[in-house]
Structure 1
């Protein structure tokens, strides 16, 4: 298998409720292949102690050091800064019983894909990468999955079997076509209510609309955030192929559109503006962001992010886990 999930034709039929009980043979094989691919790739770049996706600082106070560009201003040590007249930040010792949460969108819009994979398959692969990487640090991992208005919670536990259970459920979400927009804001607020201590939250979605902005901002006040956006190339450009029938997956509404070169140019402009707005909104939360596409190297993007964090940890003096 290449660095991507299996072809969409091997995916199981979607049920009308969240999967329970043992996974099907198809899902089992998919998850086994994903885990093997991820483990081999990560083992090639991570050795011993490393700065991974989980935060390199926790709740226990450590030493102070001079502020460096890019440091989190929320960690400024105001007492030392006042005494020295220079800006210092307080390092934090990693919390070894960190609870991490995965918020994953499996709604109707995520079932879209015009290349090898759908957005849902790419999101599943990204969830696997983040999950198994987080499990390496012996952290407890929970999940909140959303399919349209339906929210499903998997309580946090430690170990790889927990990640496999999360992925098994995510691989067969309930049908949400025509049931309304993803309640991503509700899923984020659910994590906020369940996570009693500061922790790590990874959010994987196409971030359609803007209903999620305030909820994500509230979550960022207490937790370290990693946001993974998933999109298909056709969401940024559509060829002038004439009359086509388009369907809104969330509402189920269908209309015919004649795609001309003029329509294509307007589409590209609007899509680019929406992407810029979305990234600006995400940037304001202070979250780390990874952008994935259905035709890209999803695992390579995650590995590159891990390596950047590792480099930042060495340069900034952050304690590794």
Structure 2
């Protein structure tokens, strides 16, 4: 189900500027302020990263709770206490993070606060700023019609902003235009040294990414950030609606006045999203779903805090 209604109409929060309404310099400044000087303090302070553990340095043990990674079982403590225990680890002090950004045609779509391409840049910014600290390196791979844009990992705020500028400036892809795929970008990371963090930002609507994601997750911590627009989950009752498959460019007229058709669409969309989520989880990756009609910053914060609570003292 890759078809999407054609763009049109005003955003849900038309009074608030979106990234596409700002110059690249203004957008970068806006993202930096979100993650360094947010007025409510929700993102202030030292952020060791999106994944506070596991790392390579052993720490304390605690009783096992449902949801813990069984690979961290501490068998000595389990045998000694007759209660299952897991070994916690301290996060590595230096981390290499790769951001894999899907810039396919289906990402150039949005009917709410922003387009999915804007949401993807926000997600990339959250990963970049939350993993930025002394010694950490950040690299990126951005798919596109001219091939994969690869930015080697380096340290520093200037390099971070260079990556975000490349994400902001990526060209739009015409529907039906052949381009590099998410699978291509993941395949090219197979030879990386183990132990890094790979953040994959995509709507995961294309095919072929499942096995490459599983391969990457065997050697790295992986965060899969799924971008979703509400019109991809349900159709409005607006009469005859033209939908376009962004990957092929095919158009189709849909009579949305039919309640049964809208219900079938919603059911199929839920099944599709459930399959994406299950596939990501089976690959061994963490999953974060962001929507164009929600406060995505708060959703990122909730995900980070949930990961930290689980790593530090029990399942969230």
TM-score (norm 2): 0.84
For the residues of structure 1 that align with 2:94 and 2:181, how far apart are their CA atoms? 29
Partner of 1:214: 211
Partner of 1:180: 178
CA gap 1:33/1:244 in 2 versus in 1, 3 angstroms: same
CA deviation after TM superposition for structure 1 residue 213, in Å = 1.2
CA-based RMSD of the aligned residues comes to: 2.8
Please give the secondary structure, in 1, of the residue aligned with 2:190: helix
Partner of 1:297: 295
CA deviation after TM superposition for structure 1 residue 58, in Å = 1.6
2:92 equivalent among 92, 95, 116: 95
Please give the secondary structure, in 2, of the residue aligned with 1:38: helix
TM alignment of 1:279-298, pairs within 5 A? 279-298=277-296
Aligned residues: 300
Gaps in structure 2 of 5+ consecutive residues: 1-12
For the residues of structure 2 that align with 1:221 and 1:253, how far apart are their CA atoms? 37
TM alignment of 1:213-252, pairs within 5 A? 213-252=210-249
Partner of 2:253: 256
CA deviation after TM superposition for structure 1 residue 170, in Å = 0.7
Gaps in structure 1 of 5+ consecutive residues: 12-25
> For residues 187-239 of structure 1, what are the alpha-carbon distances to aligned partners after superposition, in whole Å with 9 as ceiling and x for unaligned?
1122222x212111111110103421111111111211212111111001112
For the residues of structure 2 that align with 1:64 and 1:240, how far apart are their CA atoms? 55
Please give the secondary structure, in 2, of the residue aligned with 1:296: coil
Would you say the 8 A contact 2:143–2:179 is kept in 1?
no
Partner of 1:151: 148
CA gap 1:304/1:109 in 2 versus in 1, 3 angstroms: same
Partner of 2:307: 309
Task: Between 176-185 and 195-204, report the one with greater CA deviation.
Answer: 176-185
CA deviation after TM superposition for structure 1 residue 61, in Å = 4.0
2:159 matched to 1:162?
A: yes
CA gap 1:116/1:5 in 2 versus in 1, 3 angstroms: same
CA deviation after TM superposition for structure 1 residue 62, in Å = 4.4
TM alignment of 1:68-147, pairs within 5 A? 68-78=65-75, 81=78, 86-136=83-133, 138-147=135-144
